[in-house]
Amino acid sequence: MSKKISLSGIQPSGKPHIGNYFAMMKQLVDQQEEYDVYALIVDYHAMKSVKNPKVMKENIINVVLDYLAIGLDPEKVTFFKQSDVSEHTELCWIFDTITTMPYLMRAHAFKDAQAKNKEIDVGTFNYPVLMAADILLYNPDIIPVGADQKQHVEIARDIAEKFNNNFGQTFKLPEAVIMKDVAVVPGTDGRKMSKSYNNTIPLFSEYEEIKKIVMSIVTDSKEGIPKNVYAIHNLLRPATELLPLYESKAGKYKELKELLIEDLEKFIAPLREKRKEFAKDIPKALAILKTGGKKAKKIASLKMNEVREKIGVNVYE
C-alpha cells in the first residue's frame, strides 16, 4: 500500500524563524518515515514581497539548505519549488474561473491588507487560489501548517469541492494539521512571529544574535512572569518544568532572559552547524531541488491532463 501524502511549503522571503520550525518544518521532519512528504518552496508566492532577482535566488537556495539542515532526507522527501512546475499557475487560472470575488474578500490576508489601507495587488488577493493549486495537484492527505494558514487550507477544500461538483470527482480534500501548542508562535513583540513583522528569532541565529534578540523581547514592568519571554521559552521546555522556574524568579527579567538565551543556543547550535556543512556544497543542494522539481512535474502534469479532460479542452485523440 502506498504511503499517505503530507505537503507543506514556505516562502523564500527571508530567514525562517522558530515559529516556522515548530509549526510546520518540524512536523515534516517527524512525518518523513510514515508519509510521502512534499516540501515546497513557494517562490511565486514570495514574489509578493521579494522583487529583487538576486535576493530571490539567494532566498531559494537558503530554503533548500534550511530544509536539509533541519533533517529532511532528500531520499525520502521531495523538495521542489513552485516555479519548476508550471502546472501550479495553470491550475490556479482554472480555479479562478470557479471562485468568486466576494468569497476571496473574506480571506484574512486580504482583509488585513485592506484594514491597513494598503494598495492590494492582484497576487495578494489571489494568493489562496494559487495555494489551492499548490496543494490539490498532489492529492495530499494532510497539510501541516501554523494556525494562520488554517483558512487557506479550508479555501483549498472549498475550491476542490466546487470543482468536483461541477466536473466530477478529481481532487482529494486535504486536512490541515495544526499543532495545538505551537499554533501561533509569538514574536519578540508579542504579535505573531512573522518574517514581515521584524519580530523573529531566526532558526539558524548565531549566539550573539540570539542574545541581542532575547534581550530586546518586550516585557511589561507590571508582570511578574514576562509573558513573551515565557511563551517563547515554552517552545523548548514543558510548562511543568518552566512554570516553577519562572515563579521562583518572578520579576527577575534579566536572569530569565539569560536562561532563555542558553536554552535557545542549545537548541539552535547543532542545527546551525549542520547548515554550515550543507552550505559548503551548494551545487549538491541545487541538484536535490532540481530532481525534486522533475518528480513533482511528472505528478502535476498527469493531474493536469485529468483536469483538462474533465473541463473539456482535450479535443485531440
Q: Which residues here bind ligand ADP, judged by CB under 6 A?
A: 8, 10-11, 13, 19-20, 23-24, 145-146, 148-149, 182, 184-185, 192-196
Return the number of the residue (49 or 165) whose C-beta is nearest ligand ADP: 49
Return the number of the residue (99 or 188) whose C-beta is nearest ligand ADP: 188
Return the number of the residue (14 or 226) whose C-beta is nearest ligand ADP: 14
Question: Considering only CA atoms, which of 39, 36, 42, 67 is closest in space to residue 141?
Answer: 36
Spatial separation of the C-alpha atoms in residues 301 and 312, rounded to whole Å: 16
Spatial separation of the C-alpha atoms in residues 259 and 268, rounded to whole Å: 14
Return the number of the residue (144 or 307) whose C-beta is nearest ligand ADP: 144
CB of 174 to ligand ADP, least distance (A): 13
Q: Which three cell numbers stand for residue 33?
A: 518515515
The 10 Å CB-count burial string (b at 16+, else e) for 190-207 is: eebbbbeeebbbbbbbee
Spatial separation of the C-alpha atoms in residues 132 and 92, rounded to whole Å: 8
CB of 188 to ligand ADP, least distance (A): 11
Tell me the Ramachandran region of residue 39: left when phi exceeds 0, alpha when psi lies from -120 to 50, beta otherwise. beta
Return the number of the residue (9 or 304) whose C-beta is nearest ligand ADP: 9
Return the number of the residue (10 or 307) whose C-beta is nearest ligand ADP: 10
Cβ neighbours for 311, distance < 8 A, ≥ 6 positions apart: 94, 167
Angle between helices 108-115 and 122-136 (to 10 degrees): 170
Distance of CA 232 to the CA centre of its chain: 19
Alpha-helical segments (H) within the chain: 18-20, 26-31, 43-46, 53-69, 87-96, 101-104, 108-115, 122-136, 150-167, 207-215, 227-233, 239-248, 253-278, 282-311
Return the number of the residue (235 or 307) whose C-beta is nearest ligand ADP: 235
CB of 8 to ligand ADP, least distance (A): 6
CB of 128 to ligand ADP, least distance (A): 12
Half-sphere exposure of residue 88, counting CA atoms within 13 Å on the CB side? 24
CB of 192 to ligand ADP, least distance (A): 4
Q: Which residue is nearest to ligand ADP (CB)?
A: 146
In total, the chain counts a number of residues equal to 317
Spatial separation of the C-alpha atoms in residues 22 and 200, rounded to whole Å: 13
Return the number of the residue (42 or 296) whose C-beta is nearest ligand ADP: 42
Spatial separation of the C-alpha atoms in residues 70 and 64, rounded to whole Å: 10
CB of 275 to ligand ADP, least distance (A): 18
CB of 105 to ligand ADP, least distance (A): 20
CB of 240 to ligand ADP, least distance (A): 22
